[in-house]
Structure 1
Amino acid sequence: MIRYTLHSVPMTAVDREYAESAWAALGGDPALLARVSTVVRAGALEARLPVREMARACVGACALAAAELGARRSGRAVPPRAPAGGAAGAPGDDVPGVRVDDGAVAAAFVSERHLRVAGRAPVSFAPLSRFWRTRDGWVRTHANYPHHRARLSAALELPDDTGSLAAVLAERSAAEVEETVTAAGGLAVALRTPREWARHPQGAAVADRPLVERERLDRAGVRTRTAAGHDPLLPAAGLRVLDLTRVIAGPVATRTLALLGADVLRIDPPGLPELADQHLDTGFGKRSARLDLSADRRTFEELLASADVVVTGYRPGTLDRFGLSPAALAERRPGIVVGQLSAWGAYGPWGGRRGFDSLVQVATGIAALEGAGHGRGEPGALPAQALDHGTGYLLAAGVLRAVTDQLDAGGSRCVRAALARTARWLLDGAAPHACPGTRDGLNGLNGSNGSGGSDGRTGSAAPDGRDGPRARGTVSYGDPYAGPGPWLAETDGGQGRLRYARSPVSFGGGPADWARPPGAWGADSPRWT
């Protein structure tokens, strides 16, 4: 049974900084942060770094963006209610209250582990996706997809077995392995400390970018968008979303838009394989079709002609040759919102590289800090693929806020998020409040103290709380996190009975679950409902 205490306390400094910086990066009104309340559960997402606080902020920002858009589009008047420390009728009283529960967040951030398909546990990382010792350190490889496994084996000239790979890597330097495998189109990243990443050209390029990049692409007029008559409140109802994403972060973003009422159609190329369990976990509420953009361009253009949002998750530049850059999409579909997701960012020397959450943790120093000896022993990992999930919620929030901005000023919009930038944000937030065992590793973060402006925040308070607007949301304490049970649900799907984690995005009057279970990958027709 879930229990809550009856008392509330102010946010901690770390919570406040993450909440404020995320919402400011999205261009949100600071006054709306008073609408957010948090249920704290000891033991959820435990780590040396403040993963729980970061995850709360990502989910809270997404839920608040949804609540704000829902209030605007529905015209539904929410009775005025005095926020903590405020007066009735204060700004934002028409926006539903948001609740962020640590239990729901913890369950959702490892949703891929909780999935059960007819009682079967999901297939996890492949044998060649792991840490390996090198002559001078460590590398992590990623070979879950057959084509990545083949490129890894070809680059290192070895048969596809773990024993041979271990022997070969033990004789090479980590930097050599990284460059050799990357040049062959495979995935291998050398372990770095935060100091080393901060000095790396890509680390420096990432640090100079906002947490969420927001751009107006043109002067397209205001579109009339209403969502009246929906119960529960569905902020994205009526929006058509083309989902051109893969793996976790992008599909988490579009899965969230589907929860909120959007008609989401995922499009995949016919020849690129997908992991069945991964698709099921992130496919709730969506439809899935396969389409060759070269051979059947007319069908795609017909879809685009009535789309409201396009979300992409391929390497930067990959889709440009198909005329799918943000500028090209806006030219053909004025008023479009484009959400772009990448691993390393669309800039810097690594801007065109492939990447996954596990590899970004290794490059940025997170794996070193979470490992044995805090960077001086075997590397570790966060308790969840938190960069993937967190960035997914931030991207969904960016899309929702872009639609809200369009209600006032029109314009085609583009929002961008990157796993490496989210990693930097996580490390920035830890720096001034160094978690046990992390201070030495964080001292090299270009002098960052978590309160700078590089993450897009405006008017954020200093760590001592003396300046700037404050996040006045409240915190209450529930039972310690004892497992995901209360936040799991079951439904029947085409592959059998599914157990899954519910979405942590929750606000007054909003949806409690997805309207439909996931179907088989690529089984739907490429057309709107």
Structure 2
Amino acid sequence: MRHDQNSDATQASGETVDRIMLSRLWSALGGKPEQAENVLVSGEGSLQSVYAVSDFAAAVIATSGLALAEWIAARSGTGPDVRIDRRLASLWFGFSIAPRDWELPSVWDAVAGDYATADGWIRLHTNARHHREAALAVLETGPDRDAVAAAVGLWRADDLEAAVVSAGGCAAAMRSEREWARHPQGRAVLAEPLMRVDQGGGAPRFATEFEILRPLTGIRVLDLTRVLAGPVATRFLSGFGADVLRIDPPGWDEGAVIPEVTPGKRCAWLDLKDGDDRERLKMLLAQADVLVHGYRSDALESLGFGADVRAGLNPGLIDVSLDAYGWTGPWATRRGFDSLVQMSSGIAEAGMAQAAADRPIPLPVQALDHGAGYLLAAAALRGLTMRHTHAIGSRWRTSLARVGGLLTEHRQRPVAVQIGKPAQADYADEMEPTDWGNARRLRPPVTVGDTAMAWDRPAGKLGTSPAAW
């Protein structure tokens, strides 16, 4: 990884934080260390945070770019350079879309958030109706924030966390990094590899046709992901030409996240509790090149689509997945989201301590989601290259908590230039005619040779396409 002279990440030793992170990420994917020298980072500034979020953003997007460059080299014989704009990489960890004459819906449910308990803090994640109902049932109160706060204040944090989770809801008590390192789940997930890779079955190599400016043209990606890491991964893949088909249950919605993550994708409904729809999914799986999924680690198994079934349907499949808290340990099947993992793993407590604040201080962006998303995209691309060069499928697994473990190893240095909200110059000139109205999208944070992210269709609503390739 190289830096231009204007980058505030440059240090006399040459071992910049983003370079260290890139080396760790690329090695976790099995990449060759010397390939990282083909990355050039330009721009300056950092998001204000207790951790090196901007270095992480540049490094993990660079990892995706490196994996794409490797794929291009395998298909064309030419290995392009990867260029990262540090400012844009940081901004893409927030919202990339800016509506014109319409507004994004709220990101959070009215009940969701941090609450003081009798002995600390807890976060309730209530964006999904069934998660909200579970939390309110435990608290024996209605969806009034003041009433919820009063009810939460009567509980110990660990006890309320356990009760909400047992009821089918989502909650996380605030712990410190030290407490997380001693916690049975913290010990388990931090002992896992950053990315677990397993070899799949035999598969045919890809045909010789290849469009170097749209290098993923013809690649079929089946997207079984929701908020937020998985959709970020498949948005990256669709940005370079992949045919991404996203599947959701009928009626599912994610508010502001949908316009953010659906450019380039076709979106369909399937009810996987319905026999006919399960058969349809089997056909889609059999014909896919890549599967990206973000369910709890036991969820697909319970629906009859466990790892052995997926491999039997498609031995050459590149099967890429993540969960919240890891693949081992007592919480291996626990529901979770970025904001909850930040509470569990000490991130929000570290922000609170640094700011001498009286409440949890999370990261300025959902860095675990975005970072994991780009890492998943890189895994999919490395899997494609392995299939093309070695005629095998592969299975890749990581988690929000394990990605968070990498980030928490790197505290932020003093920030000389702070990255704030996007400026007009950060957006592309062209309007994107989304299903909600016109919008502008941030300029791409990465270019690989002469190609950059561009989408063949604007962001659109869920369930608007048939469930077919």
TM-score normalized by the length of structure 2: 0.92
Structure 2 contact 76–212 (Cα < 8 Å) conserved: no
Aligned match of 2:119:
136
- What per-residue deviation string (whole Å, max 9, x for no partner) do you get for residues 191-240 of structure 1? 0000000001110111111111111133x144234452x252x3322110
Q: Per-residue deviation at 1:13?
A: 3.6
Q: How many residues are aligned here? A: 457
Structure 1 Cα separation of the partners of residues 345 and 418 of structure 2: 31
Q: Which amino acid is 2:231 matched to?
A: P
- Residues 257/151 of structure 1: CA separation in 2 closer, same or farther (3 Å cut): same
- Residues 376/116 of structure 1: CA separation in 2 closer, same or farther (3 Å cut): closer
Q: Which amino acid is 1:280 matched to?
A: P
Structure 1 residues 21-170: aligned runs within 5 Å: 21-42=24-45, 44-75=46-77, 94-111=78-95, 114-116=97-99, 118-170=101-153
Q: Per-residue deviation at 1:498?
A: 2.1
- What per-residue deviation string (whole Å, max 9, x for no partner) do you get for residues 230-280 of structure 1? 252x33221101100001100001111111211000011225x21242111
Is 2:224 the counterpart of 1:224?
no
Structure 1: 5+ residue stretches without partners: 76-93, 437-476
Structure 2 contact 232–370 (Cα < 8 Å) conserved: yes
Is 2:221 the counterpart of 1:241?
yes
Aligned match of 1:18:
21
Structure 2 Cα separation of the partners of residues 196 and 384 of structure 1: 23
Structure 2 contact 105–255 (Cα < 8 Å) conserved: no
Structure 1 residues 27-426: aligned runs within 5 Å: 27-42=30-45, 44-75=46-77, 94-111=78-95, 114-116=97-99, 118-218=101-201, 220-228=202-210, 230=211, 232=213, 234-270=214-250, 273-293=252-272, 294-296=274-276, 297-373=278-354, 377-426=358-407
Q: Per-residue deviation at 1:481?
A: 4.0
Q: Per-residue deviation at 1:494?
A: 2.3
Aligned match of 1:456:
none
Range moving further from structure 2, 102-111 or 10-19: 10-19
Structure 2 contact 102–436 (Cα < 8 Å) conserved: no
Q: Per-residue deviation at 1:317?
A: 1.0
Q: Per-residue deviation at 1:315?
A: 1.0
- Residues 260/405 of structure 1: CA separation in 2 closer, same or farther (3 Å cut): same
Q: Which amino acid is 2:153 matched to?
A: A
Structure 2 Cα separation of the partners of residues 227 and 349 of structure 1: 47
- Residues 403/370 of structure 1: CA separation in 2 closer, same or farther (3 Å cut): same
Q: Which amino acid is 1:24 matched to?
A: S
Q: Per-residue deviation at 1:511?
A: 2.7
Structure 1 Cα separation of the partners of residues 26 and 93 of structure 2: 20
Range moving further from structure 2, 9-18 or 197-206: 9-18
Structure 1 contact 209–421 (Cα < 8 Å) conserved: yes
Structure 1 contact 73–225 (Cα < 8 Å) conserved: no
- The Cα RMSD (Å) is 2.2
SS of 1:217 mapped into structure 2: strand
Q: Which amino acid is 2:154 matched to?
A: E
Structure 2 Cα separation of the partners of residues 13 and 373 of structure 1: 23
SS of 1:255 mapped into structure 2: helix
Structure 2: 5+ residue stretches without partners: none
- What per-residue deviation string (whole Å, max 9, x for no partner) do you get for residues 345-368 of structure 1? 122111111101000000000001
Is 2:422 the counterpart of 1:484?
yes
Q: Per-residue deviation at 1:377?
A: 3.9
The structure whose RCO (Cα within 8 Å, separation 6+) is larger is 1
Q: Per-residue deviation at 1:124?
A: 2.4
Structure 2 contact 324–336 (Cα < 8 Å) conserved: yes
- Residues 493/13 of structure 1: CA separation in 2 closer, same or farther (3 Å cut): closer
- Residues 499/33 of structure 1: CA separation in 2 closer, same or farther (3 Å cut): same
Structure 1 contact 116–122 (Cα < 8 Å) conserved: no
Q: Which amino acid is 1:248 matched to?
A: L
TM-score normalized by the length of structure 1: 0.82
Structure 2 Cα separation of the partners of residues 160 and 480 of structure 1: 38
Structure 1 Cα separation of the partners of residues 7 and 392 of structure 2: 44
- Residues 7/240 of structure 1: CA separation in 2 closer, same or farther (3 Å cut): closer
Q: Which amino acid is 2:349 matched to?
A: A
- Residues 115/215 of structure 1: CA separation in 2 closer, same or farther (3 Å cut): farther
- What per-residue deviation string (whole Å, max 9, x for no partner) do you get for residues 97-121 of structure 1? 1111112112210026x44264314
SS of 1:428 mapped into structure 2: coil
Q: Percent identical across equivalent pairs?
A: 39
Structure 1 contact 242–264 (Cα < 8 Å) conserved: yes
